[in-house]
Amino acid sequence: MERRGRIIIIGAGIAGCVLALHLKKEGFSPVIYERVNQVKDVGGSLSLSPNGLRSLGTIDLAGDLTSLYGYPQIGIKRFTLQKLLIDRLASEGLRVEYGKSLKTIQEDADGVSAIFSDGTQVDGCCMFCCDGIHSVGRSQLFGLQPPEYTGLTQTIGLSPKPDSICDGDFLNVYGVNSFMVAYGYSEGEIAWAATLPEPEQPEVWKGMTNEEQEEFKRRSTFTDWGASIRQMMETTDRIIKVGLYDRPALDVWHRGRVLLIGDAAHPTSPHLGQGANQAMEDCAVLCRILKKHCSASEPLDILKLTLVFEEFEKIRIPRTSELVKSARAMGAVRVVAGAEECTARDERVRHMLNDGTSIPASYARNIGTDL
């Protein structure tokens, strides 16, 4: 391959892997550069809605998932999805280079280079930064924007499914100053996530130590929330706590030959369960536009790339900006204190769940008309 013809993807998370598979389908052979040396079973679960599944369907992966986990709204352990994607990359002959942490981006008239923390460098015709919420690509392009703490944390757990919860149940539990969601993510197992107002916590998907888990269970009021929830909390074998932060929306996602994708472009709080789904929508939309203007047999020059990136931003920025705002608002709606506030919240939520045009319903049901 011509050195300058290489398509560079930074990050082998959900967006990076899905993008590589979409590009492969269009005849391109991108290479992924991933910071970690090895992908491990860390993190919790993701909720995949029809719009995300539709993107996976385009690369012939939805069938594998839906036959395993059901359809159309499914829960899946993040690691299971990432592993499935990485296995598919290997079977498609696509390369992932591990231990490559992007440090700097350099661009000249002929192409773009990624310089990694180990001092190595790769050159390419374009670069897609799929490097998540703490994106180095984003700060290289647009400077560091310190995130703002929302005052909420999310505590996530994976537990054996209590007998009282049926397959396919999607539990939303509203309490005083707290909210919990729980859904099955594989046979016999359930993922739960509790949103609480708490002092600032780091924005990392890191598991608690055994001692921290025991302390969380001891202090948690969730164990008073009925038998199913008590059982889930008592039997959980992994608890992760992450602080929820806001970042200002960007009005462009590209500079020259470099484009941000997924959380790097539009990090969102998790209250609408759309982070991974929107990242996967990005990939499908980008490749649809790329196919319209470019061909894998011709060089991706700056004029074509600019055309593609601008069209992509025109479609994706309004949709994701609205989503980020709505997700933020949803957190504030759900977590309230005081008897009157809780009663008003319960009424509002009841109305929202029955209203097919409400924001959560519209994102969950919207199967990506722009795909």
- Least distance from ligand FAD to the Cβ atom of residue 78, Å: 5
- Encoded one letter per residue, x for contact with ligand FAD by CB under 6 A and - for no contact, window 282-321 reads ----------------------------------------
- Encoded one letter per residue, x for contact with ligand FAD by CB under 6 A and - for no contact, window 139-178 reads -----------------x----------------------
Segment near ligand FAD (CB under 6 A); pick from 87-95, 252-260, 272-280, 357-365 = 272-280
- As beta bridge partners, residue 97 has 33
- As beta bridge partners, residue 178 has 175
Segment near ligand FAD (CB under 6 A); pick from 66-74, 127-135, 296-304, 345-353 = 127-135
C-beta closer to ligand FAD: residue 122 or 307: 122
Nearest one of 95, 97, 135, 102 to 118, comparing CA atoms: 102
Q: Is 216 helix (H, G, I), strand (E, B) or coil?
A: helix
Measure the CA angle with vertex 135, ends 242 and 18; round to 5°: 90
Q: CA-CA-CA-CA torsion for 343, 348, 349, 353, nearest 10 degrees? A: 140
Nearest one of 142, 93, 151 to 256, comparing CA atoms: 142
Among 20, 21, 28, 33, binds ligand FAD (CB under 6 A): 33
Among 30, 50, 75, 275, binds ligand FAD (CB under 6 A): 275
Segment near ligand FAD (CB under 6 A); pick from 129-137, 171-179, 332-340, 353-361 = 129-137
* Residue 330, number of CB atoms within 10 A of its CB: 21
Q: Is 136 in the site for ligand FAD (CB under 6 A)?
A: yes
Q: Is 14 in the site for ligand FAD (CB under 6 A)?
A: yes
- In sequence order, what are the residues at sequence separation of 6 or more whose Cβ sits closer than 8 angstroms to the Cβ of residue 54? 62, 284, 367, 368, 371
Segment near ligand FAD (CB under 6 A); pick from 43-51, 52-60, 217-225, 329-337 = 43-51
Site size with ligand FAD, rule: CB under 6 A: 33
Positions 71 through 110 that interact with ligand FAD (CB under 6 A) = 78, 100-102
Yes or no: say if 58 and 284 are a contact pair by the CB < 8 Å rule: yes
C-beta closer to ligand FAD: residue 13 or 360: 13
CA distance 195 to 179: 5
Q: Is the peptide bond before 72 cis (omega within 30 degrees of 0)?
A: yes
CA distance 371 to 236: 38
221 φ/ψ angles, rounded to the nearest 5 degrees: -85, -10
Q: Which two tokens stand for residue 185?
A: 């993510």
- Least distance from ligand FAD to the Cβ atom of residue 266, Å: 9
Q: Is 279 in the site for ligand FAD (CB under 6 A)?
A: yes
Q: Is 266 in the site for ligand FAD (CB under 6 A)?
A: no
Site residues, ligand FAD (CB under 6 A): 10-16, 33-36, 42-46, 78, 100-102, 130-132, 136, 156, 205, 262-264, 270, 275-276, 279
